[in-house]
Structure 1
Amino acid sequence: MEDGGHRVGQRVLYERVGFLSVLCRDLTARLVVARWDETSLDVLAAGVDERGEALPSKGWMALRRLGWNIPAPASASVECVGAAGTVGVYVSDRVRRAGEEQAARTLRLALHRRAIVQALLATWPADLSRRTGAEWAALRAVLPAGVGGAEIRNRTRQIRDFAQAHGGRLPSGLCELEDPPTVACQVLLAAMDRQQTTLERLDLAWARLRVKLPLCATPCSRRDWAWHVIDLRLPATVEPDAFLHAPTVRPTDTGRIAVDLPHSRAHPATQATGHTVAVGFDWGVNTLLTGAVGRLMGRGATARVATDGRPLIFDATVISAKLHRLRGHREHLAAKRDHYLALAAGLGAPHRAWGPLLDRAAMLEREHMRVCARIRHLNHALAWSAARWVVDQARTLGASAIYLEDLSTLEARGRRRGNARLSGQVRGTVTDAIRHLAAGQHIAVVTVPARGTSALCPRCLGTLGHHPAPDRLGERGWSWAHCPGCGLSLDRDHAAACRIVSRGLLGQAHTTTDRTTGIRAIRTPAEGTVTVVRRPKKTTRRMRRARRTATTPPQPRGPHTTPGKHRPTPTWPARSRRARTSDRPRPAAIRGALKSSRRMPDVRTVPATTLLKVVKRPAGHDAQTPALPGPRPGHGVPAPARPEPPPARRGRLSRESCRRRTHAAERTGFHHAHATEVHSLTPRFGPHRDDARPRHARKA
């Protein structure tokens, strides 16, 4: 606390932040419930006040311009009055601003859902199972821009369920179809001024937040409010030149305080057109992202896209399986919790088993919340890991644009298991993370239509056949694509990625930018073929020596020595054949004089031994002694002690340590996610950003 100068424990601070968040939530809930009607939403959707002036962008200012004050509660004991009030709970005008700002944001978010519901009710079809072409055209004409088929289907099912529950009567609007939305328990410090909160950055790693918190749940006067100083450790993602904005404070279920700290950096705007090198990525089920790089060659009618044929794969199969298991466990816990609650409700309070049933339900609820938090954290880490990989690939390849599939056209169809895995993916979070990271690298992110990317061949635009594997072209599947026209055979996601980058580069003229969000998209697809460019051949040793001689100064004549060596490498001493093939141990001087080979042997060069220690078998593993008949270890007979390996020589690693190090290297990354390494392209695809290597000389 700043007033007394003494430190406050984390538990006390968590409690006081909870007091403030509860006050803001109550203020917001009252205002949302009071204005949850079609008339109020019509006024808010118009965007003008009684005098015809446009409403301000800040929510609390817009509500005060409309005269929407927080209504008084039913009981006077929890009344919220201004600074001059003396009855009930004392809340300053800044806290009222935070509640009004959250209420305005909640009501403005409901306007989008209301527009969709109104469009569906105005064009309600005669046959709900199948709309005609004219009905679809009429619906698309009144729908807001950017509404996908999944959202239309979900809202249609919601209206159908309401009609079935009310005898076939359709709802009058969103307010009758849905209850008032639930308000989150949080504090929007962005709506307050310096009299309630301040934020300053101390250094590169720390920031200081000053906020006035209530000392009790029902503060009655100004004496029940005090200043608190909270030091925030900034994560490594916050750049030194980033500007910190007012955060949002909320108490978590784990007893900690979460501070959502937004920050911004000034970046130049990316160009919408004029891209020459770009990368396109296709979404998958197990393989989260599959990409391909393309370069625009030619102009006008002769424009075409070339690629090097190398797929970029971010394989998250293990992570997707883990998330799917966690979702199944979460559903199982929720079903058991609901079952115990139903049993307790049927028995009633006087029954002796009522208390234990509620205790079990509470335990399952805590476990359910823990599993939900685990799923959220894993999804967040997976999304940002994939986004960083995408931006690193684009930056290394010299691409100025990243093309993704439009998420609004992707729907989960098929079996229930496949729908669950598709619905649980973090595609929206990955897209937002890619936009955020690509803005710092001056790379444009554009979405293209996803329909038909896996149906046509990228080489000849013919119809592709989908098969299980390249050696099973006679069977129907989904993972492999084969074109019967031109003979193209490659992974289905790779073929779709080639089509995506082709649509993006060829349709740059149709790129549109949303003024409010800055999201760029291509609505009109441009079809074109993709050509695989042959990579330049490797130079020969003679050409490399000639280039090295031309670029390096001449060396003085003398023995061929390596920098740092004071004498030449000794060669094999002149010895007889009998001495070389003898089994006698060589002296140390002769062992040091042996010339080593740079080539690593593929197999063992020493023949393996047999059971009788006779060298007759080819190279391979040593023969193992078979187990003798008798009782096995663990059945009354102790297991034989494993001999300890001999101590390794200094500077060398034993076989076990090498194996452990190899396995540890395989586990590097994010939860066994296998991704294509970041490599630069050949010079023919464009200039490099980091390493501008010279073009290799070609063969005559």
Structure 2
Amino acid sequence: DLVRGMADEVIAAHWSDGDLAVLAGGVGADGRRLPASGWMALRRLGWGAVSPAGVVVSDRVRRIAEEEAARALRLGCHRRAVVAALLATWPADPFARTEGEWSALRAVLPEGCDNATIRNRTRQIAGYIGRHARLPAGLCELEGPPAVARQVSLAAADRQQVVVDRVDGRMVRVWSQLPVCAAPASYRDWVWHAFDVVLPAIVPAWVKVCTPTLRPGDGKVRVDLPWQTPHTPPPLDGHTRALGVDWGVNTLLTATVADLDRDGCVVVRGRPLRFDATGVSAKLVRLRRHREHLKTKADHVTWLRDGRPADVPADPALTGKLVRLEAEHTAVCARIRHLNKALAWSAARWLVDHATAVGATVIYVENLATLEAGGRSRSLNRRLSGAVRGAVFTAIAHLAAKAGIAVVTVPARGTSSGCPRCGRAVKHVKTPERSAAGYRWATCSCGLSMDRDHAASQRIAARGLANQTKTLRDRNGNAAIRTATDTPVRHRARRPTRAATVGPQRDRRKTLPTPKQTRPATVKASRLLPLRRQVPAPAGSPPGSAGKRPAGRTPQETNPPGPVRQVPHTISTTTQRHPHRVRGAVLGRGFHRHVHATPITDRDARTGETSASLRIT
């Protein structure tokens, strides 16, 4: 709270269009370039933090507060540039811009601005116009100064404030000077505290552990402990084998292995690689509906609570119900967040394992950053808005960098509407046997008949391999191909197998009556009732119980799995005889029993034998 209070004062004092322009310019009053460190840049400008009256803090603590304020102000500079671009090109109808208006807006927007930011800022400006009947002057008039998070970034301090010691390969001890009270009056109120952090198994013992960030909350202190490892960025061109990946709704990822031959032609394999998360998607849909239902009930209870007269005391039952609804809503949101994270990292791990197994050096992914959830059905809009494409792409980039594989985005326009073989438009039908318009299957006049996502993944791989010389990196290190030309793909000829090379087989068509089959004499029909000497005695029968009826047949299964059938066998029931039990080997790299993924096959065509280097880390 002490650091957050000092940082909020710095932000509030300099939340103006002029100060943000000075910070965005990157040049101080003396004409020198501002340092990259936030706290040093603020001190160069004379915007240092001041401790509250009667509170004693060290210079290192003021550094931490200034670093937090500098990060918020620099983020405000980016937002200021976005708002200024929108105001400079504000059209008559901001929600239906023409092609020319979009081109003018893109020309003045800062680099890396996505459609979601444009849409949200447009709504914010339109709301301001509706309230004040005029355009705002800038960001500082549109919104107030931001609030700093309740955290302590120790990276701005030195060893007199924080010390990080590596105890052993699995434990790190963090020493930091922290106050023992809310308002320390002297340096005696600052004492050293030790935090023992147990490193997970994915962190190697030889990596460099960096200065952490402390996040207090809920009676605990969470430590964000980053670590660094030497990394050489993989090359962006010169690839001969790639993995093309297409996004989907139910089938989250569909990939294809493609090769670039010596003639410059793209040759693909016919086997698709799928990561089907239909069960998890259905679970997420149910959780989102439950979250919306809880939110509606909580809003209604809040309206009832706030609508009571001032002289009427609060209803304890109503207040308790609201507390329970808010707690359940928070739990459901956490469940959705954790399930999305697990789904994203599991899909990324599966994809990188496949790329490593087949020897691919690059993964081409279509760029869907501009995809908006609008104009479709209500259920599809909800599912697209809750997709985890951003988290999956971040996880793929992280895991691929550790494996030395490049990740490049290609333009997404036309990947599903064009044929990968001839380039003409395809027709989407429901099934190969039905010509009715649908979504799942793609057909073309050239003879193509293939799954929609599989065809799109082949087209993505061909775009990437054919245009890899156009790959560029932005200032954040993300590789992308901005403009691409399509290249037809060829399918690799299947290797002849022994079964396919066997000579001609005999004609199996029926030309004569079926001969009568004689049953061997050794086979006899079972008796309806067993003989008396074959019937076992009743188990645990007391002595002297002769004359009682026999125990009957010996049961075939002493402990049958599932519910016991209570009806005659001639009457069908809805109980599955063989219930759905998915084994880990069938799941591939899936984390959920309803995630079906293509098993990983290495170069020797062995399935399910993943080396230790490919395990989830």
AA aligned opposite 1:674: H
Structure 1 residues 265-296: Cα deviation after superposition (integer angstroms, max 9, x where no partner): 10222101100000011111111111111111
1:174-221 CA-partner distances (Å, limit 9, x unpaired): 222223223221111111211121112222211111122222222222
The answer to whether the aligner puts 1:183 opposite 2:148 as a matched pair is: yes
* Counterpart residue type for residue 64 of structure 1: R
In 2, distance between residues paired with 1:613 and 1:121? 92
Partner residue of 1:95 out of 38, 53, 61: 61
> What's the CA shift string for 1:479-518, capped at 9, x where partnerless?
22111x212111111111111111110111110012x321
**Closer/same/farther in 2, CA of residues 375 and 661 from structure 1, 3 Å limit:** closer
Query: What residue in structure 2 maps to residue 35 of structure 1?
Result: 14
Q: Are positions 1:319 and 2:280 aligned together?
A: yes
Indicate the residue corresponding to 2:194 in structure 1: 229
In the alignment, the residues of structure 1 paired with residue 186 and residue 459 of structure 2 have an alpha-carbon distance, to the nearest angstrom, of 66
Q: Displacement of 1:127 after TM fit?
A: 3.6
* Match in the other structure for 1:676: 598
Distance in 2, matches of 1:148 and 1:124, equals: 17
Q: Structure 1 residues 428-437 or 143-152, which shifts more?
A: 143-152
- 2:171 paired residue number: 206
Give the 3-state SS of the residue equivalent to 1:331 in structure 2: helix
Q: Residues 263, 359 of structure 1: CA spacing in aligned structure 2 closer, same or farther, 3 A cutoff?
A: same
For residues 71-101 of structure 1, the C-alpha deviation after alignment (integer angstroms, 9 at most, x for no partner) is 6xxxxxxxx25xxxxx523322222222211
Structure 2 equivalent of residue 274 of structure 1: 238
Q: 1:388 to 1:172 in 2, by over 3 A?
A: same
Q: Structure 1 residue 410 and structure 2 residue 371: aligned?
A: yes
Q: Which runs of 5+ in 1 are unaligned?
A: 1-21, 72-79, 82-86, 544-579, 584-605, 615-640, 649-653, 684-688, 692-700
2:26 alignment partner, one of 47, 53, 56: 47
2:511 aligns with none
Does 2:50 match 1:64? no
Cα pair distance change 1:363/1:197, threshold 3 Å? same
Distance 1:211 1:271 in 2: 41
Closer, same or farther: CA 643–93 of 1 in aligned 2, 3 Å: farther
The separation in 2 between residues aligned to 1:305 and 1:252, in whole angstroms, is 54
In structure 2, the residue matched to 1:598 is: none
What is the alpha-carbon distance in structure 2 between the residues aligned to residue 224 and residue 362 of structure 1?
37
CA distance 1:392–1:183, change in 2 (3 Å): same
CA–CA distance in structure 2, aligned partners of residues 423 and 541 of structure 1: 48
Aligned-partner Cα distance in 2 for 1:119–1:240: 48
Structure 1 residue 661: deviation in Å? 11
| Between 525-534 and 324-333, the greater mean CA deviation after superposition | 324-333
Q: How does 1:498-513 map to 2 (within 5 A)?
A: 498-513=458-473
CA separation of 1:397 and 1:663: change in aligned 2, threshold 3 A = closer
- The question of 1:494 aligning with 2:415 is answered no
Q: Distance in 1 between matches of 2:437 and 2:150?
A: 52
Matches of 1:642 and 1:284, distance apart in 2:
55
What letter corresponds to residue 27 of structure 1 in structure 2? Answer: M
Q: Using the TM superposition, give the Cα deviation of residue 231 of structure 1 relative to its aligned residue in structure 2, in angstroms.
A: 1.0
Alignment of 1:365-376 (within 5 A): 365-376=326-337
Residue 243 of structure 1: aligned partner: 208
2:423 equivalent to 1:444: no
Counterpart position of 2:505? none
Q: Is the 8 A contact 1:409 1:451 kept in 2?
A: no
From the superposition, tell whether residues 419 and 38 of structure 1 become closer, same or farther in structure 2 (CA, over 3 Å): same
Please give the secondary structure, in 2, of the residue aligned with 1:90: coil
Structure 2 counterpart of 1:461, from 397, 407, 423: 423
- Bigger CA drift: 290-299 or 335-344? 335-344
How many equivalent residue pairs? Answer: 553
TM-score (ref. length: structure 2) = 0.83
Given the alignment of the two structures, is residue 520 of structure 1 paired with residue 479 of structure 2, yes or no? yes
State the alpha-carbon separation in 2 of the partners of residues 411 and 252 from structure 1: 35
User: Does the CA-based 8 Å contact 1:535-1:682 persist in structure 2?
Assistant: no
Aligned residue identity for 1:440: K
Secondary structure of the 1:468 match is strand
* Cα distance in 2, alignment partners of residues 69 and 380 from structure 1: 39
Distance of 2:581 and 2:321 partners within structure 1: 46
CA 1:358–1:33: 2 relative to 1, 3 Å: farther
Give 1:374 shift.
1.6
What's the % identity of the aligned pairs?
51
CA contact (8 A) 2:587 2:596 kept: no
Partner of 1:429: 391
Structure 1 residues 379 and 528, CA, compared in 2 at 3 Å: closer, same or farther? same
Once the two structures are superposed, residues 143-171 of structure 1 have per-residue CA deviations (whole angstroms, 9 ceiling, x without a partner) of 2233333433332222222211212x111
CA distance in 2 between partners of 1:642 and 1:492 (Å): 56
Deviations 1:575-617 (A, max 9, x none): xxxxx9658xxxxxxxxxxxxxxxxxxxxxx99x79x479xxx
TM-score, length-normalised on structure 1? 0.74
